[in-house]
Amino acid sequence: MAYVATRGGERAIEQAERLFREELGTIDMARVAAIRQSMPYLIDRVMGEASLFDEDMAALALAQTGGELSEAVLVLRAWRTTQPRLAVAAPLLQEDLLTQRRISAAFKDIPGGQILGPTLDYSHRVLATDVLEGKPFAPPAVEPAAKPAPAHQPSLADWQRQQGLVAPAQDSHVAPDDIPDLTREPILFPASRAHRLQSLARAETGGVLALGYAAMRGYGNAHPTVNELRLAEAEVVVRHPSGTPFSAGRVRVCQAEVTSKEKGGYLELGFAASFGWNEVKVIAAATLDLNSAEAPVGSPVHEEFYLYHTESVEASGFCIHFKLPHYVTFQSVLDAMRDAKAKAAATPVEAEQMEPAE
Amino acid sequence: MSLASLTKPWAATSYGFLDASAKRELRRKMLKAIAVPGCQMPYASREVPMARGWGTGGLQVTLTLVNPASTIKVIDQGADDGVNAASIRRFISRVSGAGETWDTLEASIIQSRHRVPEETMREDQILVLQVPNPEPLRGVEPNMSIARQMHADADYGRLWLTLYEQLVRKGRIMQGAAYPSLVNGRHVMTPSPIPRWDVPKLNMAKHLTFLSAGREKRLHAVPPYTKVEPLVFSDRPYRVEDHQDLVCRRSGIAGYFMNEIPQDDGSSSFEVSDSNLGIKAIRRAEGETVDIGQTWYRGGEFSA
Amino acid sequence: MLTISQPDAAEARCNTTFEALMWAMARPGQVRDMGEPGLAPVVEALIDRECVVHTDSARLAQFIANTGATPGTIEMADHLFHETLDIEALASVRCGTALYPDDGATVVLQAAHGTGTRLRLTGPGIDGVCDITLAIPPAFWSLRAALCAYPEGFDLLLVDARAVIGIPRSTHVEVL
């Protein structure tokens, strides 16, 4: 049985996992609560990529993976996918959102006003090193405005439509219950708009930023102007079996609308939305959406390219799968190479570009 | 009617991990995959508790098929105790209660990455191959929509051209594993990155094969008794790896696909890739009564 | 970290039914046992709210509606559950496209095995030839041959009580 003893893979993988988990230590409710409380924007990023809005579960996923983001998203997605789909929530209108931040770069002022809300945009990015010397950083209190901003804000695009700047909104022919669901059917190309926006909503933040930035730098055909950026809370309105709509709770959402230039007498709009407050992601994603229409096949701003390559679970999984043994495929390549070399005999052959082993 | 009537008692996971609707979708697609052999069928591909690219496609097929009476064998590179094979087998068994085995003859479902076992599979067995890239045309056409159109038109000219160019430049076809093969005379498929050695085992086989790519969300199938023909030119016959004369340094058996182990002195020695076949041969040599099945290759030659 | 549930009755039924359907499709002409009689077990194993279904059976229609599937005409349906054979009506069954052969319908039909027209099947899944007898008239097989321009076509599951026979579009059917 020497053959078996020298392998021992099963024990090795068990111990390797133990090593990882032992270093993280015991995970309890207190740790989950501390992560949830102190890292709301990280929680939002993870919830967005997982397409699962549950702050406790997101915090738990971060705790049990030690903050390895792609692993955290994977455990959430793997849990989410087993859950039954009980209802389809009612579509949201922008003016119905409980809006906490809403800005536009297109106009100095907009109907409803520019509401800055919570942001680091204008802060000086100085590391609070005093904290490490034992002096806690207690943020100064916010001074309330004389008149609080209204909870609801109109949609800027609606005003632009009234002005004839943006094409009139068209009624969707798809019943709310029949909106295609990316998690229940594969994305095929050209993708339905629902599939494209769903895929962007759960895309990997860094990936969307990289490709969105490529579009902004000139690999796309549109330089975006942020028409409207909104951080808000949305009611999840579902229908009771008796027929009455009711709110099942609130989720944090963000959305970006970007515009560039005139097409057919109207401003084109690119759109993206996501669970959680993920400003960078939705601006980059809306830029990709805006660029899609005229993108050449195979370019980074073509939907097949950016949707496939920003799928966080697929991209990270495939990347780490290259750690798996590939010696069968490699052996197969070696065999062909040696034979070809033998054939070439005396004359040396230049190394040939080979298909990558999979 | 109340909200409660729409729900059921909370359970952490369903039997076999996948929920009922995921299984139904896979069942529908698996039937279509059998009905059109070698044709890639799109499916939603749920996330499973394993990273994409680590056998999630194969896993979804296995989890749809499995029941407590199933016996599961999982191999990676031919070995049952490869780290990922062990992990997948443990997971399947954990969520289904199915039996585990290393023995090809005992398994009802064999999930594999990169190999087909050497012992001939029977009519009641299912082989589930994990597929990283289901598209044989990816090398000549990375855009999936265009590649799909090429399959629709049975337009495989560019693939043939690639093989022809290799012949002209190198004197032989350089394709290593994942050799493109024509199924039922209509669709070119990738047999997954199995070595050329294993492709003939799929041709007119007794068993049923599913090939499933979780990350790429495509699955295809080779039913029993279905033609699988590697793409070759009539005057240049298909060549498997030159392993027929290699001898396993541990078990002493020869005529099977081998792993090459580089030696300090610059030479190589070899170990049989189907690790449990090697184990069974060692046990038999040590005097145990061991059931070794008929193999596809005999004396290093393929015999259908 | 993970609690395993045992298969409940529905899970066990669907698993058994599907195994029969899968092998029926993989080995055209061979009879498989679904464990339960009729078309309902096939509905239970395959159909949910993602499907568009046509049936000629009022009794089955309610059962199908409970799965959440959308009722549709023969032209629209991806799954058909018919207790009687209406050849003319089936002429409009979906056959998919060369681009998406999987859009071809699955037709589940109640039909007696071992009586009626003698057929010779050849093709994938069949070791040589397979001769069977089915209570389905030759006109249906002519229609099928006309509709199934491989890889386009529809796939048949023929149910007789608990027994099922599969005839996928890849099977060549010769009326003897």
| Model pLDDT for residues A268-317, shown as the tens digit of each residue | 999 999 999 999 999 999 999 999 988 888 899 999 999 999 999 999 99
| pLDDT bucket at A220, cuts 50 / 70 / 90 | confident
For chain A, what is the radius of gyration of the CA atoms? 25
Contacts of C168 in chain B (CB under 8 A): 34-36
| pLDDT bucket at A351, cuts 50 / 70 / 90 | very low
* pLDDT: which is higher, A251 or A218: A251
Contacts of A243 in chain B (CB under 8 A): none
A neighbour chains, 3+ CB pairs within 8 Å:
B
Which listed CATH number (3.40.50.11310, 3.40.190.10, 3.40.630.30, 2.40.50.140) goes with B20-144+177-226? 3.40.50.11310
Beta-sheet pairing, B126-130 with B208-213: parallel
The two tokens of residue C6 are 């045992």
Alpha carbons within 13 A on the beta-carbon side of A318: 16
Lowest mean pLDDT among A107-111, A128-132, A252-256, C108-112: A107-111
- Whether residue A3 and residue B251 make contact (CB cut-off 8 A), yes or no, is yes
Q: What is the pLDDT of residue A297?
A: 86
- Whether residue C104 and residue B32 make contact (CB cut-off 8 A), yes or no, is yes
DSSP A299-343: STTSHHHHHHHT-HHHHHHHHHHTTS--HHHHHHHHHHHHHHHHH
Contacts of C47 in chain B (CB under 8 A): 24
Lowest mean pLDDT among A82-96, A102-116, A222-236, B255-269: A82-96
Q: What is the pLDDT of residue C4?
A: 65
Q: What is the average per-residue pLDDT within A13-27?
A: 93
Q: Which of C7, C26, C124 sits opposite B184 (nearest CB)?
A: C124
Chain B contact present for A57, CB below 8 A: no
Distance (Å) from the alpha carbon of C161 to chain B's nearest alpha carbon: 21
pLDDT surpasses 90 at B206: yes
pLDDT surpasses 80 at B6: no
pLDDT surpasses 60 at C118: yes
Q: Looking at chain A, which residue has its C-alpha nearest residue B41?
A: A186
C neighbour chains, 3+ CB pairs within 8 Å:
B
3-state secondary structure (DSSP) of residue C32:
strand
Instruction: Determine the residue among A13, A19, A82, A306 to mutate to test chain B binding: the one whose Cβ has the most chain B Cβ atoms within 10 Å.
Output: A82
DSSP A201-243: HTS-HHHHHHHHHHIIIIISS---EEEEEEEEEEEEEEE-TTS
| pLDDT bucket at A55, cuts 50 / 70 / 90 | very high
Give the ranges where C7-113 is alpha helix by DSSP (H): 9-26, 40-46, 58-66, 87-90
| pLDDT bucket at A175, cuts 50 / 70 / 90 | confident
Q: Which domains does chain C have, with CATH numbers?
A: 9-112+137-168 (3.40.50.11310)
Other residues' Cβ atoms within 10 Å of the Cβ of residue A302: 20
Distance (Å) from the alpha carbon of C25 to chain B's nearest alpha carbon: 7
Give the ranges where C3-57 is alpha helix by DSSP (H): 9-26, 40-46
DSSP A160-179: HHHTTSBPPP---SS-GGGS
- Look-up of token digits 């492709």: B199
Contacts of A298 in chain B (CB under 8 A): 142-143
pLDDT surpasses 80 at B4: no
- Whether residue C106 and residue B31 make contact (CB cut-off 8 A), yes or no, is yes
Domains in chain B: boundaries: 20-144+177-226, 241-288+295-304
Contacts of A240 in chain B (CB under 8 A): 3
Q: Which of A9, A82, A355 sits opposite B176 (nearest CB)?
A: A355
| pLDDT bucket at B14, cuts 50 / 70 / 90 | confident
- Whether residue B152 and residue C45 make contact (CB cut-off 8 A), yes or no, is no
The closest of B20, B67, B61 to B43, measured between CA atoms, is B61
Q: What is the pLDDT of residue A357?
A: 47
Instruction: Determine the residue among C1, C5, C79 to mutate to test chain B binding: the one whose Cβ has the most chain B Cβ atoms within 10 Å.
Output: C5
Q: Which of B28, B42, B148 sits opposite C46 (nearest CB)?
A: B28
DSSP assigned state of B15: T
Q: Looking at chain B, which residue has its C-alpha nearest residue A77?
A: B47
C-alpha B210/C-alpha B228 separation (Å) is 14
User: What's the complex ipTM?
Assistant: 0.97
Q: What is the pLDDT of residue A6?
A: 40
Contacts of B248 in chain A (CB under 8 A): none
Domains in chain A: boundaries: 11-80, 94-119+149-316, 325-358
Distance (Å) from the alpha carbon of B89 to chain A's nearest alpha carbon: 10
Question: Mean pLDDT, chain B, as a whole number?
Answer: 93
- Whether residue B171 and residue A189 make contact (CB cut-off 8 A), yes or no, is no
Q: What is the pLDDT of residue A352?
A: 47
Contacts of C124 in chain B (CB under 8 A): 37, 184, 223, 225-227
Q: Which of C3, C23, C27 sits opposite B13 (nearest CB)?
A: C3
* pLDDT: which is higher, A358 or A199: A199
Distance (Å) from the alpha carbon of A3 to chain B's nearest alpha carbon: 7
Distance (Å) from the alpha carbon of B50 to chain C's nearest alpha carbon: 14
- Look-up of token digits 């989890």: B63
Q: Looking at chain B, which residue has its C-alpha nearest residue C1?
A: B12
Lowest mean pLDDT among A162-171, B109-118, B149-158, B187-196: A162-171
- Whether residue B81 and residue A9 make contact (CB cut-off 8 A), yes or no, is yes
Q: What is the pLDDT of residue A12?
A: 81
Contacts of B42 in chain C (CB under 8 A): 102
| pLDDT bucket at B160, cuts 50 / 70 / 90 | very high
Order across the sheet with B187-189: list the strands.
Answer: B187-189, B181-183, B228-230
Instruction: Determine the residue among C19, C25, C43, C155 to mutate to test chain B binding: the one whose Cβ has the most chain B Cβ atoms within 10 Å.
Output: C25
Q: Looking at chain C, which residue has its C-alpha nearest residue B221?
A: C26
pLDDT digit string, tens, across residues B235-252: 889 999 999 999 999 999
Chain B contact present for A190, CB below 8 A: yes
C-alpha C92/C-alpha A216 separation (Å) is 50
Q: Which of B139, B169, B177 sits opposite A332 (nearest CB)?
A: B177
- Whether residue B78 and residue A183 make contact (CB cut-off 8 A), yes or no, is no
C-beta separation of B48 from B22 below 8 A:
no
Residues 234-293 of B with CB under 8 A from C: none
- Whether residue A186 and residue B279 make contact (CB cut-off 8 A), yes or no, is no
Q: What is the pLDDT of residue C64?
A: 95
Q: Which of B25, B51, B81 sits opposite A7 (nearest CB)?
A: B81
